[in-house]
Structure 1
C-alpha cells in the first residue's frame, strides 16, 4: 500500500472482546484490538488497505475448563 497498491491487515481477536467470560484483562485487550481494527479500517480504506478482525468463539481447552458451568449458574 505504501507504493500505491492494495493491501490487507488481518487481526486475530476473540469473542471475548464483546463478551466477558471472566478474564477481564484478556477481554479488555481483545476489545481494544477490535476498536483499533475499526479505526484502522476507516483510516486505511482510502489507501486501498482492508483491515479485518477474525474473532473466534470459545474452544474447549484446559484453560476454559469449568468456566462454562460457572456462567450457566450465574
Structure 2
C-alpha cells in the first residue's frame, strides 16, 4: 500500500468513526446494526483495512446514513 492509499483509508476510517461516535454507538452496536464484524470496523476506522463497496453499504445502513456521507470530502 502506498502512503497516499494509506492516507485515503485513514480519512475514510476517521469519517466512519466520527459518524459512529456522533450517534453514540460502540463498534459492537454498529456490528449488530450492520452485520459487519466489530474487529473489522476497528480496522477500517484505523485505516488498516480497505472496506469493499458492499461493506460500505452495510456500514451506511447500520449508521442510518447515505454511503456518500461516509466518503471524506477532501
Structure with bigger strand share is 1
TM-score category by the smaller chain?
0.3 to 0.5
Structure with the greater alpha carbon radius of gyration: 1
Structure with bigger helix share is 2
TM-score normalised per structure 1: 0.32
